[in-house]
């Protein structure tokens, strides 16, 4: 298989490969360049300079990206099977979301951080989904109460009537920020999308297909002649919204993770590149341990890694990688090996004890 087509290599080393992708024309059905609001080159460069500065301050995000190890497929036919790296690159070229399904602790979330780090796409945008999450929360928040309070306080003072500037009461969420017009894509992690209520996947359909959304509060202002408004992004930067509408220019790198706890509508799946995250084999686990604890400790606890791999096979992949890391960390503190293995190598079921 030729690797020349791969933009994302999966080796965690930052490079400028994203520039090559941006030079390649997107499929006709996934082009968003006809946006009425495209990013100005100079202001976009300024915007990305600020984003890179923010990214450099997030040491935890950097560490997570560095620790990613490409899962190996344990199969005699592995050369003919798609890999996680293939799936990421397919999503990049097609400008489609990537839906990664796998067991807890298999590296789904870390993959998104690795993409952001390797392709130098700024700080991660993360939306952690719960049963109460709705699309509105991911797009933006409008603080109507604060605006009402400011309006009441400024009733008798014409000079203090800045409450009319609605933009200052709007903060874009991670999804809303990811779809801002820019010449380069952001990386958006929608974590544990299978935890959502039944409507969220369908609510995402139009956004994922058209790459745009509307802020009605600003749309009404535009009709009154106030076309441009400044709002705050998820990164804490001031960004300009024109006409109350946001249309992406470069479709963001959207990574959605799922533990496989539910089925999704076919219309939702059709819009995604889908990949099952393989259970990490011993070599990958050893590399992960080295990344977190160093070569010396990885060699010292090689037998514990073997025990973890064997138990994971017995339990059909129901152990998470962080269970191994937690165990090894405690062993460095001279904890009793047998007791800690029994405590922390428990299957991730409803009880999680004695299994």
Q: What is the pLDDT of residue 197?
A: 93
Round the average pLDDT of the chain to a whole number and report it.
87
Is the pLDDT at 81 greater than 80? The verdict is no
pLDDT tens for each residue of 101-148: 998 888 899 999 999 999 999 999 999 999 999 999 999 999 888 888
Domain spans in the chain, listed from the N-terminal domain onward: 17-276, 282-344
Indicate the pLDDT class of residue 290, thresholds 50, 70 and 90.
confident
Strand partners, 189: 126, 255
The whole model's pTM is what? Answer: 0.87
Per-residue tokens: 103? 């067991």
**For residues 191 and 128, is the Cβ–Cβ distance under 8 A?**
yes
- Please write the tens of the pLDDT for every residue from 319-344: 888 889 999 999 999 888 889 888 88
Write out the two tokens for 334: 């001279």
| Cα–Cα separations (whole angstroms), residue 188 to 57, 86, 127, 204, 302 | 18, 19, 8, 14, 35
* Superfamily of domain covering 17-276: P-loop containing nucleotide triphosphate hydrolases (3.40.50.300)
Q: Where are the alpha helices (DSSP H) in the chain?
A: 17-23, 41-57, 59-66, 84-94, 108-118, 135-139, 144-153, 174-178, 200-203, 205-210, 216-223, 266-270, 282-293, 295-300, 302-314, 321-332, 337-344
Mean pLDDT along residues 213-233 = 87
Residues present in the chain in total: 355
Q: How far apart are CA 3 and CA 92, in angstroms?
A: 15
* Mean pLDDT of all residues in 258-264: 92
CB 269 within 8 A of CB 99: yes
């Amino acid at each position: 298989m030729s690797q020349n087509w791969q933009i994302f290599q999966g080796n965690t080393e930052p490079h400028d490969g994203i520039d090559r992708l941006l030079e390649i024309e997107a499929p006709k059905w996934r082009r968003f360049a006809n946006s009425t609001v495209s990013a100005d080159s100079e202001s976009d460069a300024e915007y990305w300079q600020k984003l890179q500065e923010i990214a450099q301050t997030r040491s935890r995000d950097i560490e997570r990206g560095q620790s990613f190890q490409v899962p190996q497929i344990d199969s005699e036919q592995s050369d003919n099977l798609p890999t996680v790296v293939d799936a990421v690159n397919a999503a990049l070229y097609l400008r489609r979301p990537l839906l990664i399904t796998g067991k807890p602790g298999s590296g789904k979330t870390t993959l998104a951080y690795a993409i952001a780090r390797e392709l130098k796409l700024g700080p991660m945008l993360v939306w952690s989904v719960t049963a109460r999450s709705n699309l509105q929360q991911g797009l933006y928040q409008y603080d109507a109460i604060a605006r009402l309070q400011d309006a009441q306080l400024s009733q008798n003072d014409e000079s203090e009537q800045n409450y009319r500037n609605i933009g200052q009461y709007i903060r874009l969420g991670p999804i809303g920020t990811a779809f801002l017009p820019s010449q380069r894509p952001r990386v958006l992690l929608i974590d544990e999308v299978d935890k959502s209520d039944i409507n969220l996947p369908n609510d995402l359909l139009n956004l994922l297909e058209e790459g745009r959304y509307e802020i009605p509060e600003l749309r009404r202002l535009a009709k009154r002649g106030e076309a441009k408004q400044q709002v705050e992004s998820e990164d804490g930067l001031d960004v300009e919204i024109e006409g109350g509408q946001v249309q992406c220019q470069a479709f963001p790198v959207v990574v959605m993770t799922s533990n496989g706890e539910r089925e999704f509508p076919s219309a939702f799946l059709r819009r995604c590149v889908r990949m099952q995250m393989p259970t990490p084999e011993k070599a990958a686990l050893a590399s992960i341990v080295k990344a977190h604890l160093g070569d010396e400790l990885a060699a010292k606890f090689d037998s514990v890694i073997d025990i973890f791999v064997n138990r994971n096979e017995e339990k059909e992949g129901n152990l998470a990688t962080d269970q191994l890391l937690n165990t090894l960390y405690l062993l460095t503190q001279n904890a009793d090996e047998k007791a800690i293995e029994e405590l922390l190598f428990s299957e991730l079921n409803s009880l999680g004890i004695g299994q």
